[in-house]
Structure 1
Amino acid sequence: MSSEKENPEGPEQLALIRETVRRAKVPKAKPRTWRGAALAKELPVARVVVNKGALHLDQFFDYAVPEELDAVARPGVRVRVRFGAGSGQVRGGRREGGRLIDGFLVERRAASDYSGPLAALADVVSPEPVLGPELLALARAVADRYAGSLADVLQLAVPPRSAAAERRPSPAPLPQPPPPAPGTWSRYERGPAFLETLARGGTPRAVWTALPGPHWAEEIARAVAATLASGRGALVVVPDGRAVGRVDAALTAVLGEGRHAVLTAEAGPEKRYEQWLAVRRGAVRAVVGTRAAMFAPVRDLGLVVVWDDGDGSHSDPHAPQPHSREVLLLRAGHDRSAFLLGATGCTVEAAQLVESGWARPLAAGREQVRGAAPLVRTVGDDLLARDGAARAARLPSLAWETLRDGLRSGPVLIQVPRRGYVPRLACQQCRTPARCRHCAGPLEAPDQRELHCGWCGREAPAWHCEACGSTRLRAQVVGARRTAEELGRAFPAVPVRTSGRDHVLDRVPDRPALVVSTPGAEPVADGGYAAALLLDGWALLGRPDLRAGEEALRRWMDAASLVRGQAEGGTVVVVAEPTLRPVQALVRWDPVGHAQRELAERAELGFPPVSRMAAVSGSPEAVETFLAAAALPMDAEVLGPVPLPVVRPGAARRPGDPPPGEEWERALVRVPPGSGAALAQALKHARASRQARGAGEPVRIRVDPPDIG
């Protein structure tokens, strides 16, 4: 077994490895395949990628192919090989022992670049080829872009095997459908032309600002149908299972049964693998799924679609943490396919695609927007504090009027930024946050129990404000359950329903009801909501994050898109400072203009996506050592490091958080456009060298970190 010529280690490391191999005490006994067992007569060498995510092992290894495995050891199959310490080769499998690990056979060769004896393939797990050259090339490109290993990307790209699913034959491919009618695409200025280009086999690239309402899923289905009509395949990636269900239903209605596959974790491993195999075998050419579907091996890929790319679910939490938008951009370039990035809002990355000329805008005229969007009205926080009605349930008179009017004709949506009861408290007089005297943690009173600290759990029975001495508290952000209780008392004859992380509703009927939801959990109302209230806007806008305004606008527009259009009386009230840019963009229903202005500001400041950025986090000593050793590009700029918040033991952790109780720092490395690949390569090489030396303290690398606040 050996590595290929393109070795990621530097010359010094490679020389060390060769010297170690030369001095190793090699037993006289030869490997099993060289000790009497016959080798394959043709192409007796198998090139294998092993399932080891360590960066210093991110390469191919050569194994000998025994004659008894010759027929099944084809490129793309899963194999088992000997690999580990104690072998006669530093990075090879043991001759007689070694640990059996999984891998993929990527190539059969006539000879190996390695001059020594080769260990043999231990077994072929399945004769089913699951790793084709297109998927391998994509995985390699993703690993290089995100400074990760090929093995880690393949773990995300190829689902776990199910023998039962492999034994079942896939259905026969259906004939290609006829081109679809434009349908609601006729509401967009270039909509029908976009479908016609797809049906002719063209590769248009568009950033689509979808009109509010329920038609986006059907419009995606028609774009897929147009692509299938040209004899090509299509891939659709959406943020969650509820969105998958809507596109699935739309594809069935437009295409008919059996023409598309659904790839989600909710289906279970066996069903998902069966669907994935149908795509891999070419029985199905259309796919819809969540982020893992971005690697689906669609034959003759003609169109990739990303819906709502600003949703955090598109970013995979597993190494190397790729984003489905960026992966599908790579696929569109590699496969020369059409590209459609759609949402009711517009991210800065989407605006950059249009600004650079790589994609064209696909939007409706202002008359269509005014007819489809609801009327948006604003209430500032200062009015909320003065209004007498606000003292009852934090709702000003305008909100009460909107509630009453909306409930006459249908359900009303209330979006609350937080779940729970009263997540955070503050002094009622001066608004100073209420904190624990012992650990400075936030004070809470969940379910109206005694006041206590949310960090250390100590009670605070005699709390008073350190700033003004007041003993009265107010809720900084009242949670969804508390809001539902208050509204239930105010409207006793109206049913109140909640939707949040613990219990997410999918749909609500078209009859009067109050639906209290956290952002992203809003159910669809049959016929649309009559009205919506967007509460505590400052809680979304006040986050210390570069994307706070963009994310707040996206959350608001996603909720407001579920409300009936202005022509049908739909009204949205947002409780936030009216002069702020995201609020004004919501009132005008102009997400593209907001994204363009954000992009211009980031260009001036040198922030992503205009620049490329990576986050390096670890202990202060580890970060300092790593950055000193990394051969960063000449135009790289290091920002920081700055300390990260300490995660208390037992607290919920997000991807990228330090281990509980440990003090970590984070440094940001920024490079201008054109140097992103060099930055990723330098970070990957530095981390690989660190792993090869067995450095103790870990260092985490995140290319394109979503949160740089």
Structure 2
Amino acid sequence: MSSDNEQPDEPAAGGPEQLALIRETVRKAKVPKAKPRTWRGAALARDLPVARVMVNKGVLHLDQYFDYAVPEELDADAQPGVRVRVRFGAGGHRVRDGRREGGGLIDGFLVERRAESDYGGALAALAYVVSPEPVLGPQMLALARAVADRYAGSLADVLQLAIPPRNGRAESKPSPDPLPAPPVPEPGSWTRYGRGPAFLEALASGGTPRAVWTALPGPRWPDELARAVAATLASGRGALVVVPDGRRAARVDAALTELLGAGRHALLTAESGPEKRYRQWLAVRRGSVKAVVGTRAAMFAPVQDLGLVAVWDDGDSSHSDENAPFPHVREVLELRATHETCAFLLGGTSCTVEAAQLVESGWALPLAADREQVRTAAPLVRTVGDQDLARDEAARAARLPSVAWQAVREGLKSGPVLVQVPRRGYAPRLACERCRTPARCRHCAGPLEAPDARDLTCRWCGRGATDWHCVACGAARLRASVVGARRTAEELGRAFPAVPVRTSGRDHVLDTVPARPALVVSTPGAEPVAEGGYAAALLLDGWAMLGRPDLRAGEDALRRWIDASSLVRGQSKGGTVVVVAEPTLRPVQALVRWDPVGHAQRELAERAELGFPPVSRMAAVTGRADVVAAFISTAGLPPDVEVLGPVPLPVADPGRPRRPGDPPVGESWERALLRVPPGSGAALAAALKAAQAARMARGGTDQVRIRIDPPDIG
């Protein structure tokens, strides 16, 4: 076994200089290498007896290829792209067939067969080939390397996300024969967009257009995505669509099946189960299926002859992976569009700042309908304005002002009414009724909540609090400072006793609801689709969504409001939306005008003035204060980097639920933000990756976590 000292043949984002910097840093750190052992007792393969292997070690100082000898008995199966097992490391020696072999067995991928090794010593041999099925092709390897370098991560970590676990039963089943290309589809509802038919024509003729698509509200977007996929398939190429969750994947799946019939596309979601999902993935890898619809992990799907990559609702947090190196679907598909020279489509009913930047930079063109089409498709949006205040002085402060009650009553005459509530549960935030002191658990100081109307429990440790008293004033009565979805459903049920009330949230998400009159209380993102559309919608507690101390608070609130409002019938059919929030705020006004693109453009202009992402590139470095300071001082950062902080992070409580990236329990961590101007992002990622590799090679035990483009910098 030996480390590869030459530039790999596959392209990598950042170029040879970046890889040379990493390897030179590792060399100076004097990384200990396992002693290689010559294969004895068996002949080597005659042709190309050296296998270059990517071992499944997600540590940066081992982010390179290693050479192994190929025994003659494995020659036929040990082909590029297959899974292998190799001995790696100097420890764990054992006796086998009279020989002592070093290192334990570890998984890896065979990247290349070579005639000679650059390593001068004897090579250890491949232990065995796990499966002769090639699962890692050159294009996926190049993409994974580019993603690893962009996010300052390791290639092994990216391959863990890109290639699903093996399932032997799925591998043993043959994939179906590929179907011939379908005919070019009719444009359908794409005619509502000025450049829509031309976009489909470009896809069908083999072109590579790139567009940011602001979809009209209503139920037609799955069919429009399906027609874009069908146009790409008609050109003889493949297509990939990534959506935030399984419910929306099912809608696109149904639209594709209706348009093209069964057998032309694969559905890659977690709901499919490991065997079925791997079988579908293999069908794509073998070229039997050339279209894929799936959730986040599908961004790496090995579609052959890729002609189109599409992402729906890129602002949804589900598109950001919480496993190292934390890639985002939008960024990965941008890399694929560039590396594989294919079309790109970013769609949604709203518009993110990143999408607006793609248009402003000229990398993509806008694809939107004119204002007349928007007014026809969008519902009427009402706020708590001066007319309501004249009739009801308390309307601005009321949780359900009179205009909201009126919208509910009118809507229930013709169909279901949607009520969006930002918080789940009954009363997720409680405070003393007398002095407004937040109610805390006496054991762990966690916040108390009321899962139902009777019992108090701690959100962190789960203990009950039946005899709670305020620590500030001694009072024993509580009030809800935030009202959850269940409490809202209870209040509406009492106000409209003859109307059924249904809830949809994290614990139980509804897919659809019938067209009959009903109240549907939902948390953001869990809104079911109503047959024929909702007659009305209430967007409650807007202050809770807009008041978050986060750079994206306004953008996220507008996106969630528009997503819910898009399920309501158009204004021409009487659809009405009431948003309970301060009407003068920018996101509220953007919703009233149904202008998500204008809102994103103004946000982008402000962030450009302040130097915030996506105009700049940022990286978060977290760890103990002394460790973070030492890491930054020795990292060799670009000269134009700006260090913000470090600032202390909240100390993790033993009973509080943990999230990825949280500091260890009881430790005091700090976070520093590193900001660079446009054009220096690759240099920043390369410097952080090299510094982390050198630190780990020296045996550093203190944790330092690096995240490029952190989603939360508030």
Q: Is the 8 A contact 1:259 1:285 kept in 2?
A: yes
The residue type paired with residue 119 of structure 1 is A
Which residue of structure 2 aligns with residue 14 of structure 1? 27
Do residues 253 (structure 1) and 258 (structure 2) align? yes
Structure-1 separation of matches of 2:195 and 2:288: 32
Specify the alignment match of 2:358 in structure 1: 353
Instruction: Specify the alignment match of 2:46 in structure 1.
Output: 41
Give 1:623 deviation, angstroms: 1.2
Which of 578, 590, 595 is the matching residue for 2:595? 590
Counterpart residue type for residue 707 of structure 1: D
Does residue 651 (structure 1) correspond to residue 664 (structure 2)? The answer is no
Shift of 1:449: 3.7
- 2:329 is matched with 324
TM-score w.r.t. the length of structure 2 is 0.93
* Map 1:287-436 → 2, pairs under 5 A: 287-379=292-384, 394-426=399-431, 433=438
- Do residues 505 (structure 1) and 518 (structure 2) align? no
Matches within 5 A, 1:176-575: 176-379=181-384, 394-426=399-431, 433=438, 441-449=446-454, 454=459, 461-463=468-470, 473-575=478-580
Compute the displacement of 1:628 (Å): 1.6
Q: Structure 1 length normalisation: TM-score?
A: 0.93
- Residue identity in the other structure for 1:261: A
CA apart distance, 1:539 = 0.2
- The verdict on how the C-alpha distance between 1:391 and 1:616 changes in structure 2, with shifts beyond 3 A counting, is closer
Measure, in 2, the Cα distance between the counterparts of 1:486 and 1:381. 26
Name the counterpart of 1:663.
Answer: 668
Is 1:4 aligned to 2:9, yes or no?
no
- C-alpha separation in 1, matches of 2:92 and 2:454: 63
Supply the distance in 1 between the matched residues of 2:293 and 2:513 (Cα, whole angstroms): 24
Q: Which amino acid aligns with 1:549?
A: G
Distance change in 2, residues 1:12/1:592 (3 Å): closer
Q: Aligned in 2, Cα 1:81/1:432: closer, same or farther, shift over 3 Å?
A: same
Give yes or no for contact 1:381–1:575 (8 Å, CA) kept in 2: no
1:63 alignment counterpart: 68
TM-superposed CA distance for 1:15, in Å, is 5.4
Measured in 2, the distance between the counterparts of 1:47 and 1:351 equals 43
Deviation at 1:391, TM superposition (A): 12
Q: CA separation of 1:543/1:380 partners in 2, compared to 1, >3 Å: closer, same or farther?
A: farther
Distance in 2 separating the partners of 1:272 and 1:436:
44
C-alpha change, 1:182 and 1:465, in structure 2 (3 Å) is: farther
Instruction: Report how far residue 97 of structure 1 moved.
Output: 2.9
Provide the rounded CA distance (Å) in 1 between the counterparts of 2:608 and 2:660. 28
Q: Deviations over 1:176-234 (max 9, x none)?
A: 00100000000001101100111011110000000000000000000000000111000
1:117 to 119, 122, 132: 122
What percent identity do the matched residue pairs reach? Answer: 78
How far is the alpha carbon of 1:444 from its aligned partner?
3.6
Q: Give the deviation of 1:12 after TM superposition.
A: 6.6
Structure 2: gaps of 5 or more residues: 8-19, 94-98
Q: Which residue in 2 is equivalent to 1:633? A: 638
Map Cα deviations across residues 61-116 of structure 1 (whole Å, 9 max, x no partner).
0001111111111100111100012399xxxxx97131011100010001011000
Deviation per CA, 1:519-542: give whole Å up to 9, x if none.
000000000000000000000000
C-alpha change, 1:95 and 1:677, in structure 2 (3 Å) is: farther
| Structure 1 partner of 2:156 | 151
Q: Relative to 1, partners in 2 of residues 1:384 and 1:85: Cα closer, same or farther, differing over 3 Å?
A: farther
Distance 1:372 1:398 in 2: 22
- 2:385, 2:490 → 1: CA distance? 24
1:226/1:453 Cα in 2 relative to 1: closer, same or farther (>3 Å)? Answer: closer
Contact residue 437 and residue 470 of structure 2 kept, 8 A: no
1:663 offset after TM fit, Å?
1.7
Task: Give SS of 1:253's match.
Answer: helix
Q: Indicate how the Cα distance of structure 1 residues 257 and 436 shifts in structure 2: closer, same or farther if over 3 A, else same.
A: closer
Please give the root-mean-square deviation of Cα atoms over the aligned residues, in Å. 2.6
Partner Cα separation in structure 2 for residue 524 and residue 645 of structure 1: 39
1:84 paired residue number: 89
Q: Which amino acid counterpart does residue 654 of structure 1 have in structure 2?
A: R
CA distance in 2, matches of 1:577, 1:500: 26
Query: Which amino acid in structure 2 is aligned with residue 262 of structure 1?
Result: L
Q: Provide closer, same or farther for how the CA distance between residues 60 and 390 of structure 1 changes in structure 2, counting only shifts above 3 A.
A: same
Question: Per the alignment, in what secondary structure is the counterpart of residue 447 of structure 1?
Answer: coil
Secondary structure of the equivalent of 1:101? strand
Decide which of 605, 611, 628 is 2:616's aligned counterpart: 611
Greater CA drift, 5-14 or 535-544? 5-14
Give the Cα–Cα distance (whole angstroms) in 2 for the partners of residues 588 and 528 of structure 1: 20
Q: CA deviation at 1:455?
A: 5.4
Given that 1:415 and 1:519 are in contact with CA atoms closer than 8 Å, whether structure 2 keeps it comes out as: yes
Query: How much has 1:408 moved relative to structure 2?
Result: 0.4
Alpha-carbon offset, residue 383 of structure 1: 7.5
Q: CA deviation at 1:622?
A: 1.8
Q: Which amino acid aligns with 1:417?
A: P
In structure 2, relative to structure 1, the CA distance for the partners of 1:530 and 1:112 (3 Å cut) is same
Would you say the 8 A contact 2:404–2:538 is kept in 1? Answer: yes
**Other structure's SS at 2:410 match:** helix
Gaps of 5+ in 1: 89-93
Q: CA deviation at 1:36?
A: 3.7
Tell me how far 1:694 sits from its aligned partner.
Answer: 1.6
Give the aligned partner of residue 704 of structure 2: 699
Cα gap change, 1:381 to 1:438, in 2 (>3 Å)? farther
Matched position secondary structure for 1:379:
coil
User: CA contact under 8 A between 2:432 and 2:479: conserved in structure 1?
Assistant: yes
Q: CA deviation at 1:426?
A: 4.1
The one-letter code of the counterpart of 1:206 is: A
Aligned twin of 2:141: 136
Q: Distance in 1 between matches of 2:661 and 2:309?
A: 29
1:505–1:521 contact (8 Å) kept in structure 2: yes
4+ residue stretches of structure 1 with deviation over 3 A?
A: 6-13, 15-18, 380-394, 426-446, 448-462, 469-474
Alpha-carbon distance in 1 for matches of 2:385, 2:151: 42
Instruction: For 1:108 and 1:366, locate their aligned partners in 2 and report how far apart those are by CA, in whole Å.
Output: 59
The verdict on how the C-alpha distance between 1:42 and 1:453 changes in structure 2, with shifts beyond 3 A counting, is closer
CA contact (8 A) 1:381 1:577 kept: no
2:168 matches 1:163:
yes
Q: What does the per-residue CA deviation read over 1:271-300, in whole Å, with 9 as the maximum and x for residues that have no partner?
A: 111101100111100000001000000011
Residue-by-residue CA offset, 1:393-415 (whole Å, 9 max, x unaligned): 93111111100100000000000
Compute the displacement of 1:11 (Å).
4.1
1:621–1:42 distance in 2 versus 1, CA, 3 Å: same
Q: CA–CA distance in 1 between the matches of 2:635 and 2:528?
A: 48
Q: C-alpha distance in 2, partners of 1:389/1:487?
A: 19
Q: Cα 1:452–1:67, aligned 2, differ >3 Å: closer, same or farther?
A: closer
Contact 1:464–1:471 under 8 Å retained in 2:
no
> May I ask how many residue pairs the two structures share in their alignment?
694
Task: Describe the shift of the 1:424–1:12 C-alpha distance in structure 2 as closer, same or farther (beyond 3 A).
Answer: closer
Paired amino acid for 1:14: R
**Greater alpha carbon shift after TM alignment, 193-202 vs 639-648:** 639-648
- Aligned mates of 2:567, 2:441 — CA distance in 1: 41
Counterpart CA distance in 2 for 1:15 and 1:397 is 72
Contact 2:309 2:343 in 1 (8 A): yes
Is the Cα contact below 8 Å between 1:530 and 1:569 reproduced in 2?
yes
Tell me, yes or no, if the aligned pair for 1:465 and 1:471 is still in contact at 8 Å: no
